[in-house]
Amino acid sequence: MKKRLTIVSMLVLFTMLLAACASATPTPAASTTAPEAQPTTEATTEATKKPITIALVYGIQGDAFYITMEKGAREKAEELGVTLIADGPSKWDPSVQTPIVDAMIAKKVDGLINVPNDPQAMIAPLQRAFDAGIPVVTTDQYIGDGNYTDGTVTFPLSVIASDNFEGGKIACEALIKSIGGKGKIYILTSTANVPSDIARRDGCIAAIDANEGVSLAGVDYTESSAPTATTQTQAMLQKEPDLAAIFGANLFSAQGAAAAVKSAGLAGVIKIASFDAPEQAIVDLRNNVIDMVIAQQPALIGATAVQYIYDALTGNTADIQKKVNTPFVIITRDNVDTPEAQAAIYKSE
């Protein structure tokens, strides 16, 4: 009897213990609600995720270099699921570009990519964007002295551009080689206040200075107008009948120079290097009018800029560099049909 009682009391105790355990186990209960809570949290994040709009204010309308930059930016924007809006001035002029930047600020875009038309005049408009909480990246050109780490202007996230001094040097070293290390070289570049083109001019002059047998015939500023470049080249051909080579330091400068050389019947006699790779430069290369094309990578520049703005907006700042130099693709008659050269040719629409 005593043994039965002990067994019964042990059973009661065990049952009480079980009951106590059941009422004092919040952990399993909490863990069963957690998976249900997860979709709710995700749904909330999705619902509150604001669509991202990035603006690209490029250098000038109708320039294959910027058309290609916009294409690269658009492709990257699509890949990242963000909206890209693009606009640019009809002429290279900060007073025309400024209202376009201001309109983007008024639209409350989330990020701004700009090819500043002037390194000083575009500081204030871009500062207004930054002050409105819009991250800014400059492409192809810079503002201030271009040193966004500890230079005169540091608010832009990054400057993404070619190493223009190096490009000018490469172009003119190749020209010097092609003229046998002797002769006069003429430089045509866009304007004196476009840092990229000035750096190309200076890179070319450095190459000329390093070679005793060559000299600088002169520098002219084309205002990015091919007809102006043609007229200037014709005047130079009159002045220097023994001119050996021309460096066209941007698309329109090279295009105008090539037209003048062609119409003077000097194709193949005067060597030409074209900075920039529009389709016409490739036609001129194949026809022996141009001897070397230095293709920048505008699509890569545009894509990298969109990625940087997106990274900044989504808190991934670790990979953002204050300065990025995109590489060149050098196109000659020997490699023009390679996939790499073909891919580097700019798009005109």
Which of 113, 251, 282, 285 is in the footprint of ligand T6T by CB under 6 A?
251
Which residues in 200-239 contact ligand T6T (CB under 6 A)?
Answer: 224
> Would you state the structure tokens that stand for residue 97, as one six-digit string?
């570009």
- Cβ nearer to ligand T6T, comparing 115 with 244: 115
Which residues in 93-122 contact ligand T6T (CB under 6 A)?
Answer: none
Which segment (3-11, 173-181, 193-201, 336-344) binds ligand T6T by CB under 6 A? 193-201
DSSP 166-209: HHHHHHHHHHHHHTTT-EEEEEEES-TT-HHHHHHHHHHHHHHH
274 touching ligand T6T, by CB under 6 A: no
Which segment (26-34, 126-134, 189-197, 336-344) binds ligand T6T by CB under 6 A? 189-197
> Would you state the structure tokens that stand for residue 222, as one six-digit string?
């084309």
Query: Distance from first CA to last CA of the chain, Å, rounded?
Result: 102
- φ, ψ of residue 293 to 5 degrees: the values are -120, 125
58 touching ligand T6T, by CB under 6 A: no
- Cβ nearer to ligand T6T, comparing 250 with 307: 250
Helix (H) / strand (E) element for 219: namely strand 214-221
65 touching ligand T6T, by CB under 6 A: yes
Among candidate residues 270, 273, 240, the one with its CA nearest the CA of residue 254:
273
Which segment (46-54, 58-66, 94-102, 142-150) binds ligand T6T by CB under 6 A? 58-66
CB of 94 to ligand T6T, least distance (A): 14
Which of 250, 274, 280, 297 is in the footprint of ligand T6T by CB under 6 A?
250
Q: Residue 206 in contact with residue 271, Cβ under 8 Å? A: no
Which of 70, 163, 173, 197 is in the footprint of ligand T6T by CB under 6 A?
197
- Cβ nearer to ligand T6T, comparing 101 with 199: 199
CB of 278 to ligand T6T, least distance (A): 8
140 touching ligand T6T, by CB under 6 A: yes
Which segment (2-10, 59-67, 126-134, 178-186) binds ligand T6T by CB under 6 A? 59-67
Residue nearest to ligand T6T (CB): 251
Angstrom CA distances, 193 to 57, 95, 121, stand at 18, 14, 10
- Cβ nearer to ligand T6T, comparing 166 with 240: 166
CB of 220 to ligand T6T, least distance (A): 15
252 touching ligand T6T, by CB under 6 A: yes
Question: What three-state secondary structure class fits 84?
Answer: strand
DSSP 120-146: TTTHHHHHHHHHTT--EEEESS-STTS
Q: Residue 55 in contact with residue 86, Cβ under 8 Å? A: yes
Dihedral angle over CA of 275, 276, 282, 287, nearest 10:
-20
Which residues in 285-314 contact ligand T6T (CB under 6 A)?
Answer: 296
- Cβ nearer to ligand T6T, comparing 247 with 252: 252
Burial group, residue 51, by CB count within 10 angstroms (0-12, 13-18, 19+): exposed
CB of 164 to ligand T6T, least distance (A): 7
Size of the site for ligand T6T (CB under 6 A): 15
Check residue 141 and give left, alpha or beta (phi > 0: left; psi -120 to 50: alpha): beta
190 touching ligand T6T, by CB under 6 A: yes
Cα gap 224→275, rounded to integer Å: 12
Q: Which residues bind ligand T6T (CB under 6 A)?
A: 59, 63, 65, 140-141, 190, 194, 196-197, 224, 250-252, 276, 296
